[in-house]
Structure 1
Amino acid sequence: MAEQHESGVQGARGPGEPTPGNDSEPTADTRSARGGRASSRRRDAKKPTTGWGAVKEILIVVALALIIAFLVKTFLIRGFFIPSGSMEQTLELNDRIFVNVLDGRMSTIDRGDIVVFEDTQGWLPEAPRTAANPVRGALEFVGLFPDSSQQALVKRVIGVGGDHVTCCDASGRVTVNGEALDEPYLYPGAAPSDIPFDVTVPDGKLFVLGDHRNASADSRYHIATGTEFVSEDDVVGTAFVIAWPLDRFQFLHNPAEVFQDVPAAGGQ
């Protein structure tokens, strides 16, 4: 009788099962199945975003752009439109300028700076009411369009807190703390002032004049009403560039040489 061995039962191997002694080696069928799943995952990953998903992405990008523009306008840079000739020829009618908002909040405002400030004292006549353009208003609000507000002014700082500012000396010039100013930025042919004045600027205030003195209702014109000084708190910022029109593009600089010999307040 032949000897029998207890070797157990081993049925036939189905498709894709590993062969004995080589459990880690996949069969062709196994590799095909895995490759199919990987290809499916790659196809899913490459599917373009469509429908509502694409709309959401666009809305998120637009919202982020508006938020960034608003933050830049509020804390860094703000655009303004020049509606008059009071600062000619430095700034001309219809120029678009940008101001450094940080200078109005964190830095010292210096003599010679061109500043934009809010009209809190009624220097400007009440603006006529016109139909609002909601689109333009929204773009101005977030900083994507220059501010066309009629309640802001732009002038050059001539005196700061403590300065004694007068006009005119024997040569018709403005003096600050006893030092006469030679002002190369004045409109050609315009006198430094056709109105005599003698003021001392309070602390925290500014005495401002337009570069086109004959066409500027500036600090001189408001002495009689006691509103001649601009509060530093009303300053939006200092103008640093003419951005439009392109043929007028230029950076604006403080003419420090005009004021370099002016003694400190109280030192004249």
Structure 2
Amino acid sequence: MDNEAQHTERDPSSGTEDGSRSARVSEDGGTTPDATTSGGTTPDATVPDAATSGGTAPSWRRTAFLGGVCVTFLLLLSHFVLQPFLIPSGSMEPTLQVGDRILVNKLAYRFGSEPGRGDVIVFDGTGSFVREQAQGNPVTGVLHDGAAALGLAEPDETDFVKRVVGIGGDRVVCCDKGGRLTVNGVTVEERYLMPGDQPSSVPFDIVVPQDRLWVMGDHRSQSSDSRDHLGSPGGGMVPVDRVVGRADWIAWPFGRWSGVAATDAFDAVPAAPAGGHGTGGHG
């Protein structure tokens, strides 16, 4: 009987010691006596896993969502307002250099304004500088257009950047006795030209039709421009509605961050006669 009593007394004592150990585990590791006695798996032990699995996925989704929003915003911005444009050739040196990334202001001609003499513009040369071509792979085209819109890829082969020399009604002639360009009979001092270049090695005498533009590169000896398309449909003239926008800033590289300088070369040029010039042709 004594042995049984002692055994009976030891049982609660043993349980108390176990309970104390469980309590200490609870204090040190966050478990509870109830959790220990309910099967050895603590509820708190599963909480970090749930938090991790439940928190990581939303975090990735948030990141992907924000990234998508940013890309969409940039694409919309470049499509409607301000488009980066990579300069792939030296046809506009020294004004623009190979590798420059310019920002094209797409709002410059959206509210009734039209390109003026001396403006540096980006335009789609389809139908004037290049022939209409069959469309390629649409998926590849979309990806390229997106990269080009962000300034990460070269522009389409139909996109060009040149300087406006003549607008609708202007008579543009090269060259006068001094070897210089004239517009509506007034000599133009083209200080933006590449040093050592002539205004043109190809003589011409043209009248620009209404709603068209005569455009030329600043590096005349390296530029394929309106002069090279005199015999093509449209005579090398760019339709105004094909203009993408005006090149207003050089954004990259950082060392060349600046605005595209305006020119006063055409300030003395008078407006074209209301009825257009009666003479003039391909010289």
TM-score normalized by the length of structure 1: 0.73
Structure with a larger share of its residues in helix: 2
Which of 214, 217, 222 matches 2:224? 217
Q: Please say if residues 69 and 144 of structure 1, whose CA atoms lie closer than 8 Å, have aligned partners that are also in contact.
A: no
- The alignment status of 1:155 with 2:165, answered yes or no, reads no
Choose the corresponding residue for 1:188, options 190, 195, 198: 195
Instruction: Provide the residue aligned with 2:83 in structure 1.
Output: 78
**Structure 1 pair 247–240 and aligned structure 2 pair: CA distance change class (3 A):** same
Match of 2:174 in 1: 167
Other-structure match for 1:87: 92
Alpha-carbon distance, 1:253 to partner: 2.5
Please list the CA deviations of residues 32-71 of structure 1 after superposition, one character each: whole Å capped at 9, or x if unmatched: xxxxxxxxxxxxxxx9981333233223322221221111
Candidates 111, 116, 119, aligned match of 1:113: 119
Pair 1:177 & 2:175 matched = no
Gaps of 5+ in 1: 1-46
Letter in 1 for 2:86: F
- In the alignment of these two chains, the number of paired residues is 218
Secondary structure of 1:258's match? coil
Distance of 1:170 and 1:250 partners within structure 2: 36
Deviation at 1:175, TM superposition (A): 0.8
Q: How far apart, in 2, do the equivalents of 1:158 and 1:118 lie?
A: 17
Contact 1:206 1:231 in 2 (8 A): yes
Measure, in 2, the Cα distance between the counterparts of 1:123 and 1:138. Answer: 20
**Mapping 1:4-15, distance limit 5 Å:** none
Q: Secondary structure at the match of 1:103?
A: coil
Deviations 1:61-84 (CA, angstroms, capped at 9, x unpaired): 222212211110111111111111
Cα distance in 2 for partners of 1:99, 1:176 equals 26
How far residue 93 of structure 1 moved from its aligned partner, in angstroms, is 1.5
Deviates most, 52-61 or 203-212: 52-61
Residues 1:99 and 2:107 are matched in the alignment: no
Does the aligned pair in 1 maintain the 2:101–2:250 contact within 8 Å?
yes
**Aligned partners of 2:108 and 2:245 also within 8 Å:** yes
1:168 deviates by 1.1
Does structure 2 retain, via aligned residues, the 8 Å contact 1:67–1:142?
Answer: no
Q: Contact 2:128 / 2:233 at 8 angstroms: preserved in 1?
A: no
* Aligned residue in 1 for 2:63: 58
In the alignment, does 2:214 pair up with 1:207? yes
Q: Give the Cα–Cα distance (whole angstroms) in 2 for the partners of residues 146 and 71 of structure 1.
A: 17
TM-score of the aligned structures, taking structure 2 as reference length: 0.69
- State the alpha-carbon separation in 2 of the partners of residues 234 and 94 from structure 1: 24
Q: Distance in 1 between matches of 2:117 and 2:101?
A: 23
The alpha-carbon distance between structure 1 residues 144 and 214, as it changes in their structure 2 partners (threshold 3 A), is closer
Q: SS of the residue aligned with 2:107? A: helix
